[in-house]
Amino acid sequence: MARFTPEQLLNDLVDVPELLIVQDLDGVCMQLVKDPLTRQIDRSYVEAVALLAECFVVLTNGEHEGRRGVNRLVEQALGDVSRPARDGLYLPGLAAGGVQLQDRYGQLSHPGVTSNEMAYLAKAPERMEDLFLQRLPEFLPECEEQQLREVAHAAVLDTQVSPTINLNGVFSLVPDDVDRQRALQDMLQQVMDQLLSEAAVEGLDQSFFLHVAPNLGRDADGHERLKPAEPGDVGSTDIQFMLTGSLKEAGLLVLLNRRIAARWGKAPLGDDFHVRNAPRNHADLLDLVKTTIPAEQIPMLVGVGDTVTSTAASDGSGWLRGGSDRGFLRLLQEIGAWSGQGSRVVLVDSSHGEVDRPNLADGRYAGVTDPDDPLKLDVVMPEGPRAYVSWFKELARRRPLAQGPV
């Protein structure tokens, strides 16, 4: 279904004067791993990002800062904790789905987030661990109490603005046991729903939502659907407790607004536009672009992700489409088509890491897309993150127009 080879895309982008690459991180430029603390990022990739300067931004559900943040990976890759801030080598863009903004010098902000919300998020990881540990014994009766405590502690990702429970470590204790994996997914949903209910009691009923990764799109109430485990595909592995408005689609508009402001001297959506005051649905976001941003000011857009899903509905009514990158990739594609500036959607195969994902190697893309999918994949990289990083470095090397000060 892909229209271009990676080499064709490379040749197309080398001389594009107005280019903006919007890229996810985990599974794209680094392998997916069961323990995020063991992630590694390539030094030469970090340096290539700096060469592309204003032509590159990240858009991720991970976070920039904290012990689990990508900034720590950048510092480790360079072997220097001071050089990234001094030389502008941090990865610029939006994290935590769009609420955490960073420039390449590591200057960080959380536009639109209140102190009460930050206070609740600060205590959420400990509460998550308590609730998860209470439920875990019934699903892992073979485990001793100390092991359960260790498993629960490792499962909770204590990030600053998007604390998460990750099931990869738990799933490794029940490999190939699809029934138990599905039961654990349902239990995780219940735990995180309780956290939402407790936030509402504190007057924060409109402040948070649950992001399921990967997911099968949204149900009629707007909640993201779990992707049940299947043989060869564990389905949903994470649920993130996220701030309302933390949508990659809205983040795409924030990044586009900032790029246009830097290039043309005026932010068409306003200087104070952020994901929390942006529209919350796809159609309204696209309409905002069409009615507010001059088409000629939009650069050529390249979206890069790894998490796109499509599964046939059990009742035969159609397809359940989701994935944390689907929304922003589709919106990016539609903006490029409307503006006339063009766009490219790149999908990287993230099944090469430690997490079971559908494989793109056979060219069928089962579980990823479908014949009626409105999201069209321009380029696929079935060899995974290593191949993408190699391609990315070559693009940075060959784009003299993009090279700014490092």
What pLDDT was estimated at residue 358? 87
Q: Give the start-to-end residue ranges of the domains of the chain.
A: 6-106+246-398, 115-206+208-243
Asked whether the CA dihedral 94, 99, 101, 107 is positive or negative, the reply is: negative
- When pLDDT is cut at 50, 70 and 90, the band that residue 400 belongs to is confident
* pLDDT tens column, 126-179: 999 999 999 999 999 999 999 999 999 999 999 999 999 999 999 999 998 999
* pLDDT tens column, 31-85: 999 888 899 999 999 999 999 999 999 999 999 999 999 999 999 999 999 999 9
Rounded Cα distance between 207 and 35, Å, is: 28
- pTM for this model (two decimals): 0.92
Rounded Cα distance between 155 and 151, Å, is: 6
* pLDDT tens column, 9-31: 999 999 999 999 999 999 999 99
Looking up tokens 């589709």 gives 330
Task: With beta carbons less than 8 A apart as the criterion, state whether 227 and 215 touch.
Answer: yes
Three-class secondary structure assignment of 239-287: EEEEECCCCHHHHHHHHHHHHHHHHHCCCCCCCCCCHHHCCCCHHHHHH
Q: Which CATH architecture has domain 6-106+246-398?
A: 3-Layer(aba) Sandwich (3.40)
pLDDT at 401 over 60: no
Identify residue 76 by its one-letter amino acid code.
Q
Rounded Cα distance between 361 and 349, Å, is: 8
What pLDDT was estimated at residue 359? 86
pLDDT at 1 over 80: no
pLDDT at 356 over 90: no
What pLDDT was estimated at residue 362? 85
How many CA atoms lie within 13 Å of 154's alpha carbon, on the beta-carbon side? 17
Structure tokens at 205: 């009923």
187, 286, 363 from 111: Cα distances, Å:
33, 22, 41
Task: With beta carbons less than 8 A apart as the criterion, state whether 1 and 36 touch.
Answer: no
Helix axes 178-201, 115-135, angle to 10 degrees: 140
Burial profile 213-242: b = 16 or more Cβ within 10 angstroms, e = fewer: bbbbbbeeeeebbbbbbeeebbbbbbbbbb
Left (φ > 0), alpha (ψ -120 to 50) or beta: where does 258 sit? alpha
Mean pLDDT value of segment 265-291:
97
Q: Is the peptide bond before 214 cis (omega within 30 degrees of 0)?
A: yes
Mean pLDDT value of segment 342-370:
91
Helix (H, G, I), strand (E, B) or coil at 124: helix
